[in-house]
Amino acid sequence: MIQFQGVAAEVAKSLCYGNIWDSLAGAKYKTEFVHEGLDGRIQLLDAQKLGRLALDLGAGRSVGSGSIDHTVGLELLKSPNDIIKKNQAWIRVHHSQEVLSAEIKARLDDVIVVDDGICAGQTKSSKITKVMSNA
């Protein structure tokens, strides 16, 4: 499908079956953010807030004539229902500015909701109830 959009066959093969980073440029800077609260279980990672943050980093455009920086983005290191400990990284921000603004950092704090009322020995339970195969 991507070849019909003008992507060379070798690049398409690398993207689909190889190491995508051989064909895609990465961001100049990467910053990991850690959870600064108590140990707990991630109840929510607000997707709308994450999307707006990505947009503000340059990963999207708010007007049709705007440009997109294809090297920036947000890489989630944790998911909802995961156990997270104090000072554990939960997101990696790929960005083009050397230093992220205080506003971006503050908005990231507002994305994650952690329930610190869990038992220390609890682990993440799978949401997979049945595995289906075409084989």
- What single string gives the DSSP state of each residue in 18-86? S-GGGTSPPPSEEEEEE--S-SEEEEEE-HHHHHHHHIIIIIS-SSTT----TT-EEEESS-TT-EE-T
Residue written as token pair 């020995």:
121
**Mean pLDDT, the chain, integer:** 86
Say what the pLDDT of residue 23 is: 76
Per-residue confidence at 61, pLDDT binned at 50, 70, 90?
confident
Q: What is the pTM of this model?
A: 0.74
pLDDT tens column, 5-49: 888 998 888 888 988 777 777 889 999 999 999 999 999 999 999
With a cut of 80, say whether residue 124 has pLDDT above it: no
pLDDT-wise least confident of 23-27, 54-58, 90-94: 23-27
DSSP code at position 121: T
Strand partners for 41: 83, 115
Task: Give me the pLDDT at residue 27, please.
Answer: 87
CB 54 within 8 A of CB 74: yes
Average pLDDT over residues 63-76: 90
25-115 topology per CATH: Aldehyde Oxidoreductase; domain 3 (3.90.1170)
Unique residue bearing structure tokens 């705007």 = 66
Q: Distance between CA 58 and CA 71 in Å, rounded?
A: 9
Tokens of residue 84, six digits: 């997270």
The pairing of beta strand 89-95 with beta strand 83-84: unpaired
